Amino acid sequence: MVHYSTFRRFLAVLCGLALTATALWAGGEEEGGGAAAAADKTVIRFDSWMWGESDFKAPVQSVVDEYMRLNPTIDIRMEASGWAETRNKLMTRAAAGDSVDVMMLDSDWPYQLGIAGALADLNQLAPQDYLADNYQASLQTNTVDGKLFAVPNAVNSHGWWTNRGLLERNGLTVPVTWDDVYANAVKLKENDIYGMHNWQMCGDNLGMVLWSFWNFGVFPMSPEALANEETGFDSPELHAMYGFMRKMAEIDAFAATCGDGRQALYFEEVPYLTDSGNTLPLGRNTNPDLLGGDKIFDVFSVERFPVVEAGMDPVIPVIDHTLAIWAGSQVKEESWALVQYFAGSEYAAENYVKMTGSIVPPQTLAQKRLDNEYNNDIHRGFLENSYPFLQVMPYNPNWHATGKLIIDSWQASVLTDEPIEDIIKTAEKGLQSVLF
């Protein structure tokens, strides 16, 4: 049984709470804060795998904070998973009809999400002058059936990182051809230094290893080959490539054949590494005694990829970090404004892209930085030795299945003594089965 006096005290407390809440709400109205102000803000959900990594979280957050300062009616809510989990997570959420508004992508993720109907066509949102100022191979790589599914937020395709000092201390020069790479490897092994790296030679991420195939003249699953119901794989050039790999393996010239081979470069165990601009911050953090601060610019340069014959141009696959917008987003225009700021503003160039070691996507903005930030042998090397030779990545619906077959065959040429002819025949048969 509830006593009347107790009930009266309860009502008094309840009324007091109601009056307090009303006062707080009114105060919020007067000062532009509180619940009313929060309700006026446009929420943009942003999934960035880089925001989830300790080396890159602060630069990403810096751009997000500055954008919200400049746009006080925008509330950006960040999410992140590890790089390896992000693609599958976004695919699952999109299939369920509940995704984030803006997503940072990598590798073939825009293609996979785009053909699944999960991404908005950015041709309908982006100003044409902004797109015209980007690297066209980057945009074409992320375009399917005329729909642009992502734009680069950092031009991040691979370069041939080189430790010139290490070569010079061993009486060697920067290789121009694959024959030069082998000759250097023979000499380097005399001093217990590796002659090359193949740190992505496992798994199914074909985009990470196409640089090797392309610069031996092998173009698996090119549009031209597929149009003729050919794989573009089994060729004299591929036999020559695998023969080279076998020769290098026989003298134990590889610093890595799987996993992360960056460490070998950072500690001068190998003179070259094929990698994006990410080696700049990662190298600094991993071996600060040798590479900390500006010291890294005295150690490394980005040179041209080796080719079959001197005088040939290298061929570089597009592998950019990109930004996309969910097709189901209710705030597409606001999301695009964030994307363009994140990828193409002076603030982002200075406080985010610079910290990742990459090049800012708008070419006019990159050119403005050539006299200062990019005036070194790494950034200038990317701009002069890699990005003029970018080529569209030939994604297709069977990308991962075929990638696994190709990478496994490459690995077999290095790690086994199986006849190269047999390795290639087995992979070719598997590719034809998957593709046709």
* pLDDT value of residue 28: 40
More confident residue, 247 or 14: 247
The stretch 90-97 carries a mean pLDDT of: 85
The domains of the chain are located at: 40-149+321-360, 159-317+394-435
* Cβ pair 157, 316 in contact under 8 A: yes
pLDDT at 261: 75
What pLDDT was estimated at residue 35?
33
Give, rounded to a whole angstrom, the gap between the first and last alpha carbons of the chain: 80
What is the C-alpha separation between 355 and 102, in angstroms, rounded?
Answer: 21
**pLDDT, position 107:** 83
Q: Taking 60 as the threshold, does the pLDDT of residue 33 lie above it?
A: no
Q: What is the pLDDT of residue 257?
A: 80
Q: Which residue has the tokens 């610019």?
A: 297
Given a contact cutoff of 8 angstroms between Cβ atoms, the answer to whether 266 and 295 are in contact is no
Tell me what pLDDT residue 118 has. 94
Identical fold for domains 40-149+321-360 and 159-317+394-435, yes or no, is yes
Mean pLDDT, all residues of the chain: 89
Give pLDDT, residue 355: 83
Name the most confidently modeled range: 84-88, 276-280, 309-313. Answer: 309-313
- When computed from its CA atoms, the radius of gyration of the chain, rounded to whole angstroms, is 26
Summarised one tens digit per residue, pLDDT across range 285-298 is 999 999 999 999 99
pTM reported for the whole predicted model: 0.83
DSSP β-bridge partners for residue 103 = 47, 324
Q: How confident is the model at residue 13 (pLDDT cuts 50, 70, 90)?
A: very low
Q: What is the mean pLDDT of residues 369-392?
A: 93
The pLDDT-based confidence of 356 (bands split at 50, 70, 90) is confident
Whether 1 shows a pLDDT value over 60: the answer reads no
Question: pLDDT-based confidence at 30, cuts 50/70/90?
Answer: very low
**% of residues, the chain, pLDDT over 90:** 74
pLDDT tens for residues 166-195?
A: 999 999 999 999 999 999 999 999 999 999
pLDDT higher for 19 or 316? 316
| pLDDT tops 80 at residue 22 | no
- 41 close to 74: Cβ distance less than 8 angstroms: yes
Evaluate whether 149 touches 122 at the Cβ level (below 8 Å): yes
Architecture of domain 40-149+321-360: 3-Layer(aba) Sandwich (3.40)
The pLDDT value given to residue 201: 79
Q: How many CA atoms lie within 13 A of 380 on its CB side?
A: 11
Residue 204 has pLDDT above 50, yes or no: yes
Residue range 115-136: mean pLDDT, rounded: 96
CA distances 409 to 88, 212, 232, Å, are: 26, 13, 15
Higher pLDDT: 146 or 156? It is 146
pLDDT at 220: 96
Q: Does CATH number 3.40.190.10 belong to domain 159-317+394-435?
A: yes
Q: Which residue has the higher pLDDT, 118 or 32?
A: 118
Report pLDDT for 23: 38
Range 244-259 average pLDDT: 92
Single-letter amino acid code for the residue at 320: D
pLDDT attached to residue 402 = 95
What would the mean pLDDT of 203-228 be, rounded to a whole number?
93
Q: Is the pLDDT of residue 304 over 60?
A: yes
The alpha carbon torsion through 287, 288, 290, 296 (nearest 10 deg) reads: 100
pLDDT band at residue 14 using 50, 70 and 90 as cut-offs: very low
Tokens in use for 371? Answer: 């006299």
